[in-house]
Structure 1
Amino acid sequence: MRLEPVKVSPAAYHAMLGLESFVSKSSKLEESLLGLVRMRASQINGCAFSMDMYSKDARVNGETEQRLYTLSAWRETTFFTNRERAALAWTEALTVITEGHAPDEVYAEVRKEFGEEELVNLSLAIITVNGWNRLAIGFRTIPGEYQPH
């Protein structure tokens, strides 16, 4: 059994919660968009705990099964808006940063859809979910038990 980060270092865990709270409440980004970003980054990272949690939260917030099921193939569908598509491309670029180092063409597309502050906040959302994924994967957080509030 691995460590439980929240018990071992509550202050560090609360710092992450502070960033999560900012992203969720103060970033002015749509909750549905944040749900897609969280889910897509978690898919890329292979974080089963987060995929379970974020898919449940997304459904509670009105996301459709169709969009959740096709999220990993979003480029091949018409189910996502241009804004969502730009956010998903930016999510992939920042999550797999070693592949292309956030290419200029992806940046140009995301800049068309997001203002300066929105783009910084979107980037922080992506950074946050990647941090949570790494904690959950590294410490083997067990998926399946999460229930939305």
Structure 2
Amino acid sequence: MNRVNIQQVQPQAYQAMFGLEGYIAKSTIEANLQEMVRIRASIINGCQFCIGMHKDAATKLGESNERIAALDNWKTSDLFNEKEQAVLAATDEITNISVEGLSKETYTNLGMFFSEEEIAQLIMLAAIINAWNRIGVSMAS
């Protein structure tokens, strides 16, 4: 049995998601950092479509293939600075929210690099890519 294509049968749902994407597009979070969040969450969620799409986007923004590949095991890599590590830690915790939530330590680390508005944007970015991942994985055959 073919899986439902939500974009075809519920286009209003996709329009709502694109509205959230429009919000993130106006974010003050650097575009390459946004793509790292999208790739990392997609790796965790196993959304191959999103991984490929966001790897391409990151490459177009100048990210190296080495750094993109290192997102699989970013904790053991020396390719990411402290700011990027804080964002990737938050991405991991938000994506795996049932484990411990967004920990106080990780949230505090974000505060070293980002304003409250930017932290809100990062949380929304992680929530949006996780929603896209869940849609994509659910529709995959």
Same fold per superposition (TM over 0.5): yes
Other-structure match for 1:111: 111
- Pairwise CA distance, 1:36: 0.3
Compute the TM-score of the two structures, normalised by the length of structure 2: 0.95
Structure 1, unmatched stretches of 5+, are 142-149
Aligned mates of 1:80, 1:95 — CA distance in 2: 19
Other-structure match for 1:47: 47
Other-structure match for 1:80: 80
Q: Deviations over 1:88-147 (max 9, x none)?
A: 000001000011121111111111111100000010000000000000000117xxxxxx
Aligned mates of 1:60, 1:26 — CA distance in 2: 19
Other-structure match for 1:37: 37
1:1-149 mapped onto 2 (5 Å cutoff)? 1-23=2-24, 25-140=25-140
| Identity across matched positions, percent | 35
Moved over 6 A (4+): none
Structure 2, unmatched stretches of 5+, are none
- Alignment RMSD: 1.0
Q: Which amino acid aligns with 1:81?
A: N
Greater helix percent: which structure?
Answer: 2
SS in 1 for 2:50: helix
